[in-house]
């Protein structure tokens, strides 16, 4: 055999040993929600969330396997109105294990939409990786006409394999849009286009399986976060009190009597309290219960030392965080400090 043929055969043998182009490794963690829901009839709105397991979700979208090497696990199977501290802590620890110890390229979490924004923000502050972590859900159950879950799941995997989604913190992927954990909010009770990105808008969108990023978050998150839940088995107790004309102080008093660690007020306007509620808040702060002023208004900041002298009362102003997000940050802040000024700094940074 001449030399040329020997070289050709040797080259072919070498190429045959090269690994096929490996697809990204993506882990899907299922927690329930409407994406796993079953309706009694395909046209009805009556349904139960958290009925379908992860494998059924994956079987409904075989096109996902064109994008990535996808495997899944079922953490819980609940309506997200039942999301709780125990699941949050398990989820954060599991995501960190998958990304930092099991060499996955990204994580997709299927989740109910009711509290998706809270879970996303909690993970934004506790995941220790710059790899994509994408939450996806649906507004219609898995067997409904026009079910939106399969497309949301496919798009979430497309985002999870996208280098453009690295380093953006935790994102939500709904209705072809990518929304960041700090600003994402569910705005409509039943519409598929329910999620919005607050005043700064969406982070990007998914089209034809490609992620297109329009802007990057400017708050601290994931690897830049000081919050670490790896050794925690419970979280501080923080409640939310809703403000309104002639508000009763009883809910605030109940949290004080139950020895909560913090109370967030969904106040009126720029985080203002009815006078009877204000008086209880001042006493609660003096007892060491951290008060955070937020607002029931859907947009706009709750400003520090505006109508309320926060410095005098040692209240914290939630700034750009709505009450449900302010609660998440206050819970984690209280794992680090009870100093109101230190906590206020966290609200300026995260
Ligand atoms: N039970 C609600 C939840 O799991 C349904 C809403 C949904 O997932 O779209 O959040």
Domains of the chain by start residue, with CATH: 25-224 (3.40.50.1170), 238-349 (3.40.50.40)
Active site members: 34
Q: Which residue has the tokens 């976060």?
A: 225
Mutating to test ligand 1, I would choose from 112, 141, 173, 175 the residue with most ligand atoms within 8 A of its C-beta, which is 112
Expressed in angstroms and rounded, the spacing between residue 73 Cα and the centre of ligand 1 is 19
Terminal-to-terminal C-alpha distance of the chain: 69
**Is there a contact between 241 and 264 (Cβ–Cβ < 8 Å)?**
yes
Q: Alpha helices, DSSP H only, in the chain?
A: 3-17, 54-59, 64-67, 85-100, 116-126, 149-160, 250-257, 275-286, 310-313, 323-333, 340-349
- Give the pLDDT score at 38: 75
At 51, is the pLDDT very low, low, confident or very high (cuts 50, 70, 90)?
confident
Q: Which two tokens stand for residue 73?
A: 């696990």
Expressed in angstroms and rounded, the spacing between residue 80 Cα and the centre of ligand 1 is 6
Tens of pLDDT, residues 306-325: 999 999 999 999 999 999 99
Distance of CA 30 to the CA centre of its chain: 14
- Is 70 exceeded by the pLDDT of residue 2? yes
Cα–Cα dist 60/158, whole Å: 16
Phi and psi torsions of 47, nearest 5°:
-155, 170
At 4, is the pLDDT very low, low, confident or very high (cuts 50, 70, 90)?
confident
Tens of pLDDT, residues 107-137: 999 999 999 999 999 999 999 999 999 999 9
Tell me what the mean pLDDT of segment 38-60 comes to.
74
- Give the pLDDT score at 294: 98
Cα–Cα dist 209/263, whole Å: 42
Q: How would you classify the pairing of strands 133-136 and 171-174?
A: parallel
- Is 70 exceeded by the pLDDT of residue 264? yes
Q: How distant, in Å, are the alpha carbons of 76, 185, 320 from that of 239?
A: 24, 19, 19
Cα–Cα dist 2/71, whole Å: 49
Q: Which two tokens stand for residue 62?
A: 């075989």
Taking the model in full, what pTM does it have?
0.93
At 3, is the pLDDT very low, low, confident or very high (cuts 50, 70, 90)?
confident
- Give the pLDDT score at 142: 83
- Cβ-Cβ contacts under 8 Å for 97 (sequence gap 6 or more): none
Look at 4 and 271; give whichever has higher pLDDT. 271
At 172, is the pLDDT very low, low, confident or very high (cuts 50, 70, 90)?
very high
Q: Which two tokens stand for residue 287?
A: 């007892």
Which atom of ligand 1 is nearest the CA belonging to 140?
Answer: 9
Mutating to test ligand 1, I would choose from 31, 34, 47, 142 the residue with most ligand atoms within 8 A of its C-beta, which is 34
- Give the pLDDT score at 343: 98
């Amino acid at each position: 055999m001449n030399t040329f043929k020997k070289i050709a055969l040797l080259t072919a043998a070498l190429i045959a040993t090269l690994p096929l182009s490996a697809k990204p490794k993506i882990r899907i963690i299922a927690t329930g929600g409407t994406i796993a829901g079953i309706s009694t009839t395909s046209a009805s709105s009556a349904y139960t969330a958290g009925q379908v397991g992860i494998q059924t979700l994956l079987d409904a979208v075989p096109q996902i396997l064109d994008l990535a090497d996808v495997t899944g696990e079922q953490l819980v199977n609940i309506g997200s109105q039942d999301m709780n501290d125990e699941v949050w802590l398990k989820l954060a620890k599991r995501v960190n294990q998958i990304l930092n110890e099991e060499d996955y390229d990204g994580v997709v979490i299927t989740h109910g939409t009711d509290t998706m924004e809270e879970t996303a923000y909690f993970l934004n502050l506790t995941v220790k990786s710059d790899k994509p972590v994408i939450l996806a859900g649906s507004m219609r159950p898995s067997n409904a006409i026009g079910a939106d879950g399969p497309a949301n799941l496919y798009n979430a995997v497309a985002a999870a394999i996208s280098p453009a989604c690295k380093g953006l913190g935790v994102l939500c992927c709904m209705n072809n849009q990518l929304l960041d954990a700090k600003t994402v909010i569910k705005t409509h009770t039943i519409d598929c286009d329910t999620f919005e990105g607050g005043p700064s808008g969406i982070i990007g969108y998914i089209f034809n399986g490609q992620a297109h990023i329009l802007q990057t978050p400017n708050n601290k998150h994931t690897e830049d976060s000081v919050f670490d839940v790896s050794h925690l088995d419970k979280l501080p107790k923080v409640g939310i009190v809703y403000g309104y004309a002639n508000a009763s102080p009883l809910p605030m008093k109940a949290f004080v009597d139950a020895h909560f660690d913090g109370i967030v007020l969904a106040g009126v306007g720029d985080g203002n309290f009815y006078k009877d509620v204000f008086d209880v808040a001042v006493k609660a702060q003096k007892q060491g219960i951290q008060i955070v002023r937020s607002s029931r208004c859907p947009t706009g900041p709750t400003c520090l030392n505006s109508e309320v002298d926060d410095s005098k009362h040692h209240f914290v102003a939630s700034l750009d965080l709505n009450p449900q997000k302010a609660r998440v940050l206050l819970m984690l802040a209280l794992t680090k400090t009870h100093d109101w000024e230190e906590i206020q700094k966290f609200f300026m940074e995260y």
